[in-house]
Amino acid sequence: MLKLLFVPYRRCTRRMMTTLSQTKELFRRAEAVCFDVDSTVIKEEGIDELAKFCGVGDAVTEMTRKAMGGSMTFKKALTERLSIIRCSREQVNKLITDHPPQLTPGVRELVDRLHELNIKVFLISGGFRCIVEHVATQLSIPLNHVYANRLKFYFNGEYAGFDESQPTAESGGKGKVISMLKEQYGYETVVMIGDGATDLEACPPASAFIGFGGNVVRPQVKERSSWYVTSFGELLKELEKI
């Protein structure tokens, strides 16, 4: 009797078929480039910095590592980390004022060049919109090109949770945002750049994924990236071929 072996479909199948040269070509002709923010556009993980500022850094950093490594669903990790931090509106504002996010070297030049080439730039983050908007402003990225999680506060400024309806609050949320962008703007070629598992899983629907290890190297992301870079200068160099 002939036995058929059914191999379950894995989302990485199409991504692994993209070669290095194909990924570079897709990047050169991209209509839009989407960046992760924490540990990609900026040097730090925003939620870890917020936790340190609120005095609960160690407990939250370990959860972030698990979330970015893919061993815990993103929403579960986000919920648990925020339940430990319980930051007030005042604390968030003070963090941004006293410890503003530090841009990764080369990202400003890369975003400027993309803008010069009329390639649209978006920030898609599992971090917090109040912090990501600050980063977007530094890079001259329109605020309507920012997709991130929203913290909620009571009238007295105390922590009241986060907006769970945002796509970025879920595992797979970055892919949902990219699908929406393609539908809304008619983009055919969208490239995702990031350091973590949630960025990797956004391709597809992203046309290509570029792994970034300039701030932290996540082995499972490096292994599954057809193009993995450790500086934004490598991407700038590729754009010179246009």
Chain segment 181-193, per-residue pLDDT in tens: 998 899 989 999 9
The answer to whether residue 173 sits within a structural domain is yes
Domain hosting 38: range is 20-44+101-240
Cα–Cα distance, 85 to 21 (Å, whole number): 44
- Which is the catalytic residue, given 38, 48, 195, 199? 38
Place of tokens 């009797």: 1
The answer to whether residue 57 sits within a structural domain is no
Confidence band for 7, pLDDT divided at 50, 70 and 90? very low
The answer to whether residue 7 sits within a structural domain is no
Write down the pTM of the prediction. 0.83
The number of folded domains in the chain is: 1
The answer to whether residue 83 sits within a structural domain is no
pLDDT value for 106: 93
The answer to whether residue 214 sits within a structural domain is yes
The answer to whether residue 185 sits within a structural domain is yes
Residue 36 a catalytic site member: yes
User: Mean pLDDT throughout 206-212?
Assistant: 91
Residue 80: count other Cβ atoms within 10 Å of its Cβ. Answer: 16
Q: Which amino acid is at 116?
A: E
The answer to whether residue 178 sits within a structural domain is yes
The answer to whether residue 49 sits within a structural domain is no
Confidence band for 100, pLDDT divided at 50, 70 and 90? confident
Q: Domain holding 111: CATH number?
A: 3.40.50.1000
With CA atoms as reference, report the closest residue to 179 among 201, 149, 151: 201
